[in-house]
Chain A
Amino acid sequence: DTEVTQTPKHLVMGMTNKKSLKCEQHMGHRAMYWYKQKAKKPPELMFVYSYEKLSINESVPSRFSPECPNSSLLNLHLHALQPEDSALYLCASSQDFPGAQVSEQYFGPGTRLTVT
């Protein structure tokens, strides 16, 4: 199984709502990532988890709250978002590091988020 799944595929939320994005992989990868991608732009790294611990936070606003409950799951909790947060949110995973060579990331299909 070389698939990263993400739910939901589409999400529309108001600025006062609380919602969560979910990501799952069963490849035994111990590094998981959240990216944000605006239309016609490259993905921008938001968070990196390594062995279920947050290792990189790219100065993301606190209205985005990541969580890694176990080695297969990654969540992104959303609260009080702004319309400019509307984007495609991509989850990815890769083989573990440190200690191992950095390797390719496997991406999910993304969640298309619209904030109204």
Chain B
Amino acid sequence: GENVGLHLPTLSVQEGDNSIINCAYSNSASDYFIWYKQESGKGPQFIIDIRSNMDKRQGQRVTVLLNKTVKHLSLQIAATQPGDSAVYFCAEIGTNAGKSTFGDGTTLTVKP
């Protein structure tokens, strides 16, 4: 679709549908990437990570895709549930270990 690869600040999906959240990163030297979920009033919570020597990694209901050529990261959530409603951030960590940079978040709203 026309939104593939595009970062959206908000995303609204129907319960049971699949969600795709996109992120562009800036530093080609970054070698570790993390997706975090942040619910209202809480700190970010780790969802899934991927290292730069991989292009895909799967977890439980989530998949992260890494395209180093265009410096793009995506998070796919299968069978989205109301409990998935939150703000999602990608983070890139470079060779200067510990220095992580967060991307702009995407607010996911799941409609029952």
Interface residues of A (CB under 8 A from B): 4, 31, 33, 40-45, 48, 50, 55-56, 90, 92, 94, 97-98, 101-102, 104-110
Contact = CB atoms under 8 A, between A and B. Distances in A.
22 contacts: A4-B43, A41-B104, A41-B105, A42-B102, A42-B104, A43-B102, A45-B101, A48-B99, A50-B98, A56-B98, A56-B99, A90-B44, A101-B32, A102-B31, A102-B98, A104-B46, A104-B49, A105-B34, A107-B43, A108-B43, A109-B41, A110-B42
B103 A42 contact: yes
A109 B43 contact: yes
Interface string B40-57: 011111100100000000
Among B31, B98, B101, the most chain A Cβ lie within 10 Å of the Cβ of B98
A89 to B, nearest CB: 10
A45 B43 contact: no
Contacts of B4: none
A33 B44 contact: no
B76 interface: no
Contact of A31 (B89, B98, B102, B105): B98
A48 B98 CA distance: 7
